[in-house]
Amino acid sequence: MSLEYTSSEMMSVTAARALENGMTCFVGIGLPSEAANLARLTHAPDVVLIYESGTLQTKPDILPLSIGDGELCESALTTVAVPEMFRYWLQGGKIDVGFLGTAQIDRFANLNTTLIGDYKAPKVRLPGGGGAPEIATNAGEVFITLKHSKRAFVKDVDFVTTLGFGRDGKGRDNVPNIGKGPTRVITDLCVMKPDPDTKELVVVSLHPGVSREDVIDATGWDIRFAEQLESTPEPSAHELTILRELKARTEQAHAGA
- Share in percent of the chain as helix, strand, coil (round to 5): 25, 25, 50
Identified catalytic residue from 52, 134, 200, 239 = 52
The answer to whether 102 and 148 are in contact (CB under 8 A) is no
Q: What are phi and psi of 145, to 5 degrees?
A: -135, 135
Between CA 225 and CA 202 the distance in angstroms is 5
Q: How far is residue 26 from each of residues 69, 71, 74, 135, 209, measured CA to CA in Å? A: 16, 16, 18, 7, 32
| 234 flagged as catalytic | no
Q: What are phi and psi for residue 130, nearest 5 degrees? A: 60, -130
Any idea which residues carry the catalytic annotation? Answer: 52
